[in-house]
């Protein structure tokens, strides 16, 4: 194939509901139409041997924590219609066995993550940018629910990271790109009908551009 994929960015802060949005969004496409690649799978593996206190203090919410060279290389492979294999990142959860992810190229390439608009080499590739927004208190509540249950962190550790790592990183590396997005979606209300309506409208826009 000679035509490059239509590249869509989906960015949002922690707790903004990116995963929920993406699950709804992908329902509007067939598996052959779309490929999703996540920045989260490109974290440097640095936390496996850390103590609980070291893990608490280590700042994972920085662009330097991502293997940007590998991330960009795999994105460009997918844009050239090459299949990419990647080990799933488990967020240092020893009870979570990583899977080997197979990312097959498709006409629509979705790239999601916190820093995707910060990396200039990747930011230049987007044809359509989505920014998922949420009220701070709602985002924190979602982060607490997720990290307490899925990742086994204590509430103290979650709150420490939120105020010392998550919010400063969001304000510095993501928020400045908000107004440069094609669409800003307020995902503060947990109503599936709202997201389904928005994702349908956006998917129609994208399909129209591919005609």
| pLDDT tens-digit readout, 30-53 | 999 999 999 989 988 765 566 667
- Topology of the domain comprising 6-210: Rossmann fold (3.40.50)
Q: Taken in order 116, 118, 124, 126, is the CA torsion positive or negative?
A: positive
Return the pLDDT at 70.
Answer: 96
pTM for the whole structure: 0.88
**pLDDT score at 207:** 86
Question: Which tens digits make up the pLDDT trace of 131-164?
Answer: 999 999 999 999 998 888 766 778 888 899 999 9
Please check the confidence at residue 197 and state whether its pLDDT lies above 70. Answer: yes
Pairing between β-strand 108-112 and β-strand 34-38 as defined by DSSP bridges: parallel
Query: Which pLDDT value is given to residue 209?
Result: 82
Query: CA-to-CA distance for 138 and 144, rounded, in angstroms?
Result: 10
Which one has a higher pLDDT value, 92 or 143? 143
| DSSP single-letter state for residue 99 | P
- Per-residue pLDDT, 1: 47
Sign of CA dihedral 36, 39, 44, 49: negative
- Of the two residues 209 and 96, the one the predictor is more confident about is 209
Instruction: Give the count of alpha carbons within 13 A of 72, CB side only.
Output: 13
pLDDT the model gives residue 96: 63
Instruction: State pLDDT tens for residues 169-187.
Output: 999 999 999 999 999 999 9
Residue 2 has pLDDT above 50, yes or no: yes
Across the chain, mean pLDDT equals 88
For the chain, give every domain's residue range. 6-210
Mean pLDDT of 64-83: 96
pLDDT at residue 42, as a whole number? 93
């Amino acid at each position: 194939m000679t035509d490059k994929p239509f590249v869509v960015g989906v960015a949002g802060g922690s707790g903004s509901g990116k995963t929920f949005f993406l699950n709804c969004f992908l329902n509007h496409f067939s598996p052959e139409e779309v490929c999703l690649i996540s920045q989260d799978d490109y974290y440097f593996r640095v936390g496996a041997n850390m103590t609980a206190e070291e893990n608490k203090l280590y700042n994972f919410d920085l662009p330097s924590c991502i293997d940007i060279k590998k991330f960009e290389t795999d994105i460009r492979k997918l844009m050239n219609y090459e299949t990419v294999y990647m080990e799933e990142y488990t967020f240092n959860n020893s009870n979570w066995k990583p899977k080997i992810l197979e990312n097959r190229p498709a006409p629509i390439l979705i790239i999601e993550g916190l820093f995707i608009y910060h990396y200039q080499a990747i930011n230049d590739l987007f044809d359509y940018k989505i920014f998922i927004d949420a009220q701070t208190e709602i985002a924190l509540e979602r982060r607490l629910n997720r990290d307490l249950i899925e990742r086994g962190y204590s509430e103290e550790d979650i709150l420490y990271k939120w105020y010392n790592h998550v919010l400063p990183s969001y304000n510095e590396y993501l928020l400045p790109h908000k107004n440069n997005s094609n669409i800003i979606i307020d995902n503060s209300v947990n109503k599936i009908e709202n997201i389904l309506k928005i994702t349908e409208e956006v998917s129609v826009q994208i399909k129209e551009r591919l005609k």
